[in-house]
Chains A and B, each alone.
Chain A
Amino acid sequence: MSVLVYIENWDGKFKKISFELASYASSLAASLNVPAVALSLGKVDNSELSKLSVYGISRILNNPDERFNALDNQAIAKAVAQAAQTTGATCVVLAHNNLGKAIAPRLAVKLKAGLVSAVNGLPVSTEPFVVKKMLFTGKAFGHIEMLSAVKVLTLSSNSFGLAEKQVTASVEFFDPEMVDADFHIQIKQTNKVTGKVLLSDADIVVSGGRGMKAAENWAPLEELAALLGAGTACSRPVSDEGWRPHSEHVGQTGKIIAPNLYFAFGISGAIQHLGGVSSSKVIVAVNKDPDAPIFEAADYGIVGDVAKVLPQFIEAVKEIKS
């Protein structure tokens, strides 16, 4: 028996989300009284792999096959399913990111497992096995009982945090049965975002809405984000107008994020937008309209002009960073 966690890598390196997943899996394993096993696919050095032991992972399976780098959900689901069967996993945990979302449903079918995606913490109870997740894009939560013997979960990023628990770990070569026909996609082109903090990784997000008035007004917002090491986001009208790319749209039909700190500049706070950001730990709103619904969701607010407030924020951040 085990809890198996699939840990993705980025050019051979793990990220905070990887260690959050490891922390979650080892806490879940402890509550079920079974070991926590991690699976890593693609080339990752032993020194990187063993970092998972800091977060309570006692057994680390690795296969360096470069074909996994194509992020083919069918191939990865097949390998994870084999690891789950080999280790007798009763729970398999994945990240609730693009790759995890693609693998989890295929994996669940292979393992005849129930799937709950975007859980935001440890199970409410393990017998019966009940987990909590956000529903209606943040407008409610549900307690969901998983009825199958094997369970597949995806974990919302920044919902559990890091929990250090150093253990001794073994790193083992894992050899799933894979043939060329298991790899179905052919990559024509990859565009990597460089020099920017990804929204899914960001502890702080700086976001702008229609109140920013035009695409060319984003410079101070980007400067603030750069100073804070923050990701940049926007509301739906902004991406619809083409002021910012769709990948920055947060809200009901865009991305759902839960950073420690969310800045909303010139965002009125339509219910669809709030759904995408309401799990943020602290929300700061700046808006001209004192009645804007964003102030209902915000912890701190300034009724005022973003063009006047942003330079003051930038100055203050420079002061505290120096």
Chain B
Amino acid sequence: MKILVLIGNVPDTTTKIKFNADKTAFDANGVQWIINPWDELALTRAMELKEAPGSTVETIVVANVGRSETEGTLRKALAIGADKAIRVDADPLDAAYVATQLARFAGEFDLVFAGIEASDYNGNAVGGMLAEMLGINSVSAVSGLNIEGSQVLVNREIDGGSQTLGVSLPLLAIVQKGIAKEPRIPAMRGIMMARTKPLEVLQPVDAQPLTAIRTFEMPQPKAACRKIGEDQAKELIYLLRDEAKVL
């Protein structure tokens, strides 16, 4: 079995977000880039599946759409334990564009993992679009996954509870927190090995984005917090009713 894990290259979650002067582009100066947190958990689960006794997983490939500066993130994925990386050399213009690029080779895999969203543009789109383009099954909000022969047992969150499902391969699993307990940290040996693992660069196919970010905006600054003494805590509840009118 072959597993593909989609890897988003995103600013570290503690990054202070800045834009250029006319607010039309993200200012990447001084930004640390990381593997999108959900993708990192997905890769960790893929590794666990490969290492399980009697596993049929032969290979784990990671892929992204991005310019050469995103290779550090792919190398980190290789250091965690992926066998090979694929980078489509293009700017990720929008979700439909990215999914179109990935659809060229994602069909060769039995199981594809995508994170439920990227922590930068919060799109929730690439995984589902790719599944539809490939014409394969997909399950979203996945918080647990086990392979049982040609079937996959999946835990997913629904609005109002959770479910265990059986789905057949090939499958695209769109994963959220819980899919793996903790993201795996690359060990020194993994980092050394990652340098010699294959990283294939593909040229993009022609595709048109269907959405485009025109301008960015920062949130309105908040008014100062109104402080109440610890002993007057009851008063705060009355303020919520009479002043804020939310009770």
A residues whose Cβ falls under 8 Å from a Cβ of B: 8, 10, 71, 73-74, 77, 96-99, 101-106, 108-110, 112-118, 130, 132-148, 154, 184-193, 198, 200, 204, 228, 239, 246-247, 249, 252-254, 256, 260-261, 271-272, 278, 281-282, 284-286, 295-305, 308-309, 312-313, 315-317, 319-320
Contacts and interface: CB of A to CB of B under 8 A. Distances in A.
B188 interface: no
22 contacts: A102-B140, A104-B125, A105-B95, A109-B129, A112-B210, A118-B124, A130-B214, A138-B219, A139-B219, A140-B218, A147-B212, A148-B210, A186-B166, A186-B167, A187-B165, A239-B177, A252-B119, A254-B177, A285-B225, A286-B233, A304-B233, A320-B238
A211 B131 CA distance: 42
B161 interface: yes
A308 B230 contact: yes
Given A247-B157, A316-B238, A297 B247 contact: no
A144 B122 CA distance: 13
B211 A115 contact: yes
A105 B132 contact: yes
B162 A191 contact: yes
Contact of A118 (B94, B122, B131): B122
Interface in B199-240: 208-219, 222-223, 225-230, 233-240
B226 to A, nearest CB: 5
Given A74-B138, A184-B137, A320-B247, A301 B211 contact: no
Contacts of B106: none
A142 B25 CA distance: 10
Interface in B105-141: 116, 119-129, 131-133, 137-141
A285 B240 CA distance: 13
A288 to B, nearest CB: 10
A271 to B, nearest CB: 6
Contacts of B121: 135-136, 142
A301 B224 CA distance: 10
B17 interface: yes
B159 A97 contact: yes
Contacts of B139: 73, 102, 185
A191 B219 contact: no
Size bin of chain B's contact surface: 35 or more
B21 interface: no
B28 interface: no
A14 to B, nearest CB: 13
A98 B233 contact: no
Interface of B: 11, 13-17, 19, 37-38, 94-96, 99, 116, 119-129, 131-133, 137-141, 143, 153, 156-168, 174, 177-178, 208-219, 222-223, 225-230, 233-241, 244, 246-247
B74 to A, nearest CB: 21
Contact of B230 (A112, A134, A144, A304): A304
Nearest to A240: B182
Contact of A136 (B116, B119, B223): B119
B236 A246 contact: no
Secondary structure at chain A's binding surface: helix, strand, loop or mixed?
mixed
B37 A253 contact: yes
A117 B237 contact: no
A115 B95 contact: yes
A236 to B, nearest CB: 9
A71 B17 contact: no
A135 B10 CA distance: 12
Given A109-B132, A188-B165, A249 B17 contact: no
B225 A108 contact: no
A101 B38 CA distance: 15
A147 B167 CA distance: 35
B124 A313 contact: no
A313 B178 contact: no
B246 A71 contact: no
Contact of B214 (A73, A99, A145, A286): A145
B140 A115 contact: no
B219 to A, nearest CB: 7
Contacts of A144: 211-214
B216 A102 contact: no
A124 B1 CA distance: 47
Interface centre among A109, A187, A252, A282 (most CB of B within 10 A): A109
B38 to A, nearest CB: 7
B233 A284 contact: no
Given A10-B160, A185-B166, A299-B223, 4 more contacts: A102-B128, A117-B122, A136-B11, A313-B237
B238 A98 contact: no
Nearest to B241: A320
Contacts of B140: 73, 98, 101-102
Contacts of A8: 159
B160 A188 contact: no
B112 to A, nearest CB: 14
Contacts of B212: 144-145, 147
